[in-house]
Structure 1
Amino acid sequence: MSDPLPAATGELRDGDLVLRPTRSTGGFDGFAVLVDDERVGSVALREESAGVRSARWNLGTGPDAMTWAVRTLRLVFDHTFGELGATRVEARVPVDRTADIRAASIAGMRREGVLRGGSDADRVLVARLADDPPLDSRDAFIAILNAGLPTKRVISQGLVRDPAGRVLMCELTYKTEWDLPGGVIEVGESPAVGLVRELSEELGVTVEVRGLLTVTWLPAWRGWDDACMFLFDLGVAEPEIVDTFDLQANEIAAVHWCTPDDLSARATAASQEMLRHVREGTVTAYRDAPLAP
């Protein structure tokens, strides 16, 4: 830990908004936040390590609190990066303080994750770096949104049938139900390319993606978050093709050609329902899976 941050000696000003130094406590150098000489809240900085300051603030919950918080944080950035020579300003905001998390984002801080557990409630870690793009730039806008917007898990699965109409299913090592071949798509990977990769890794086979059959939204289930599942047509194969597979032993215990009765006994309810619609020709381009019991 480096030496404590010296007490601020001057006011920071942005028009009618003023940050006035107050007494330093607990390692934090504080500022009273004033608008037209009326105190509306406070903000404080602490040196965590060389070049890194943490910030905390309280601007209340009034109708102008968001605006004041954003302007206050931007003054803090100018001060810490310009006058103090810091390279990073970060904050740990309780997850239920959504207005403060949003203010931090608008001010130019990027969401970096959630700090869990300990004596405090879970906290969102946000930060801004001295060399981040200027706040009014397109690059900054995109980066902040990318850091804070929700993401959706994508799963790709392939439908392979034999001449008798049986469906190829995988017996998995990590769950009871059998499933269609495929898996979770990686960041930046297309669903079709990801499916080809998954089957190469798990079955040792190269497949041709013939077309999209349906996209199914899967609600949260057994501790898994919700996801979108892309079902691709992989065509018809002779039953003996399974003899050429090189199974990834830590995930795939075996593969099976399944009749509708087999699916009823082994597949999840969501897979049974989807495959029934495919079999009957009633599957739609997009669909929501029924909620699991």
Structure 2
Amino acid sequence: MLVSAEESRAGVACPSLFARGQVPVIVNRKLSAETTSLCYEAFAVLHSGVSRTPVYASEHLTRASVAAARIVDRTDSFHEEDRLPVASRARLDDYVRSGFDRGHMAPAGDMPSESAQAESFTLANVVPQDRALNRGLWAAIEESVRRLAVARGQLFVVTGTIYAGTSIDSVDGRVLVPTSLFKAVYDPARGEAAAYLVPNRSDADWRSIPLGELTTLSGIDVFPGLVASMMDLPEPRTYSRGDTAGGRPKGRTRDEPSFEEWALATLERIARRVLREFLKSIF
């Protein structure tokens, strides 16, 4: 759904995706130029026609939505966002041989249905992201936030970009490369919030910052009017498949599942696919 500026400010188009139904407030007016608000099934985006990337993506994660997302097979289907003007949106060929990953702001792994996951591959939800960061530390942050949502019941999450300095890189001369990324997390039940802040580079480390500092650095008040105590964010870490308790079998990483884990996962995917086809044939 494409929404007007008035709807965007009020948060009425997809209020369930924002804490208290309030959209983030852009404090730095430069970030407001050529922006468009987009609502999707499981996330919302404020897109910049200047950077041709999202300014932020907002989600409401629950224990149930994370559980549903766990059983959705990932199918990469990156596509251009045809609801945006052609000149203001990223193109698929912008990323060809760019050296960067197409990094999701609202992760595909958060999407609770096949249709929601397909929507998450819109380039309106993507930034040029360092490959090592995307596949390492950032993936660990995403998974840690999912597990935190399961532990606490629900979280509101805003993921966004920071462009710092006087010289900003771009891919294909069109899509700006963020210098840092953030993922802000709010627990409405406990009244706690904080944000992960990570430079967009291969040797990046992360730090936890309060919302006030995030507003200063990013120019975005991600949870406007919110009074929250500082959340103790979980340490980002990789997990092996099937590790539901949060531990990790010694000597293996997320990218190195055992044969048994691989075989079980493959059988599960096949069984789900067969079940879907059977149900389609009936209905």
Q: Which has the higher helix share?
A: 2
TM-score (norm 1): 0.24
RCO higher in structure (CA 8 A, sep ≥6): 2
TM-score (norm 2): 0.25
